[in-house]
Amino acid sequence: MGSTLTVHQNLELLGRYRYVEIQFMELMGSWAYTMVDPEIKIGFGRHMFQDSVHADLLGKRIPELKGRSQHFHSIPPSDEVVKLLETIWKTSDELLRMVALYQVLKPALIGVYRVHLERMELPADEPTSNILRLIADEEQDHTDWGWKVIERLAASSNRTEEARNWREKLTSQLTDAGGIWGEGKKPGTYSFRKTHPYSTHPARDARWKIIHNPAEFKEKDWSFDSNEGKLHLLHDLLNSEFITVERMGLIISDFPEIPWQMKLDMARQAWDEARHAEIVQRRLEELGGHVGMFPTSCFGWEQDVNRPDPLERLALSNMTFESESCKHLRDWIAKAKKTGDTRSLQLVEFLLADEVNHVLYGVHWIDELTKEDPERRKRVLAYPEQVLTGQHPVGVYFNETKNA
Ligand SMILES: [Fe+2]
Ligand SMILES: [Fe+2]
């Protein structure tokens, strides 16, 4: 362990870290909509973004170390590690997933970052050292958060021992697989896709009452100029914020081949929406409301996350629903101003600033990726209209299109 790492050894390791960080994003993205616990959904939104930044920082350092070949950008540590990730991904139990990610995989990654930091040639490799320190500290925050959530989940279901046994089993499997460095193993060539079955709605905890008939859903008819109206609208928005964390996660996990910058944008949006959920829930509660006080709906979910083209999803949800949502938020801002509700005004202005970017992500990526494919562009841009009918306010009411 005494010797410092060479440029080439660095490269071989940074590619592994980047592979693992991206796997974390995909695991959280794939899982988010089936997790019942809202704190986990919010945590995943935040961590997907931070892990995308980690992968991005590593990805910028790799070519600086003369790793121009694509090979260095993503190196599966070993086939055994990849297969263990697949087993973990297939685990459906919420507590066991959390244990795997936050008590086994992330601590193992932090462990190798710390060892790497001790073996750096300094100041020659200060740029890598700065990056790894920053990443390791953030990963430590993630695991601290994860431990608390796991303790709460395990204690409330009397599964502390089961969680510990699972942690020990996975830890020894990861060690046998060569760990994050893939020590003693060849880089992996095995890969798997994190596909999901047809989904009709995301998981919600027992407090939420989900309406399945669009005609019964009237929450968006309220106005932001009364306390009661605010409660209805904020409650409805809260559910939409969760939906958007979940659908961004699915773009990241369903389409690993999209451009890296697009993945960064989707991860950024997941974080924005996670923060929005926190902000909106807090304001709802400040105004005397609570989760589950009104019915809610997940219209649009089914028409979004089951589409095989990510651009159709962006056309429907980012370019249509979120664009419509910007209009609503502007109306809320005007009404908050008029009624002297400076607290809501302040918060909604921040929400709107983010939402405008989300619409632009849709516009930009559809334009960028269909430049040379007019057929695809036509199909993508026609998709929202195909879904929306009646158009009360756009994006609110749907026909039943399940079998369309
Ligand atoms: Fe939002
Ligand atoms: Fe948004």
Taking 60 as the threshold, does the pLDDT of residue 404 lie above it? no
- What tokens does 168 get? 């020990």
Taking 60 as the threshold, does the pLDDT of residue 384 lie above it? yes
Asked if residues 89 and 194 have their Cβ atoms less than 8 Å apart, the reply is yes
Taking 90 as the threshold, does the pLDDT of residue 1 lie above it? no
- Ligand whose nearest atom lies closest to the CA of 242: 1
- Ligand whose nearest atom lies closest to the CA of 347: 1
Cα of 325 vs centre of ligand 1, distance in Å, is: 9
pTM of the model: 0.94
Q: What pLDDT was estimated at residue 108?
A: 98
Taking 90 as the threshold, does the pLDDT of residue 235 lie above it? yes
- C-alpha distances (whole Å) from 370 to each of 264, 277, 306, 377, 378 are 19, 32, 20, 5, 9
Taking 50 as the threshold, does the pLDDT of residue 399 lie above it? no
Cα of 241 vs centre of ligand 1, distance in Å, is: 5
Cα of 61 vs centre of ligand 1, distance in Å, is: 32
Taking 80 as the threshold, does the pLDDT of residue 214 lie above it? yes
Q: Cis link prior to 393 (omega < 30° from 0)? A: no
| Mean pLDDT, rounded, of the chain | 95
pLDDT-derived band at 2 (thresholds 50, 70, 90) equals low
- Proportion of the chain in helix, strand, coil states, percent, rounded to 5: 70, 0, 30
- What tokens does 224 get? 């932001």
Q: What pLDDT was estimated at residue 397?
A: 41
Cα of 148 vs centre of ligand 2, distance in Å, is: 28
Cα of 385 vs centre of ligand 1, distance in Å, is: 22
* Structure-derived torsion over alpha carbons of residues 160, 161, 165, 171, reported in degrees to the nearest 10: 40
Asked if residues 380 and 312 have their Cβ atoms less than 8 Å apart, the reply is yes
Asked if residues 318 and 361 have their Cβ atoms less than 8 Å apart, the reply is yes
Helix (H, G, I), strand (E, B), or coil: what is residue 296? strand
Q: How far apart are CA 95 and CA 56, in angstroms?
A: 29
- What are 107-116's pLDDT values in tens digits? 999 999 999 9
Asked if residues 273 and 245 have their Cβ atoms less than 8 Å apart, the reply is yes
Asked if residues 17 and 53 have their Cβ atoms less than 8 Å apart, the reply is no
- What are 10-46's pLDDT values in tens digits? 999 999 999 999 999 999 999 999 999 999 999 999 9
- Ligand whose nearest atom lies closest to the CA of 247: 2
- What are 162-191's pLDDT values in tens digits? 999 999 999 999 999 999 999 999 999 999
Task: Give the percent of the chain with pLDDT over 70.
Answer: 96
The strand pairing partners of 354, in sequence order, are none
Backbone phi and psi for residue 132, each to the nearest 5 degrees, phi listed first:
-65, -35
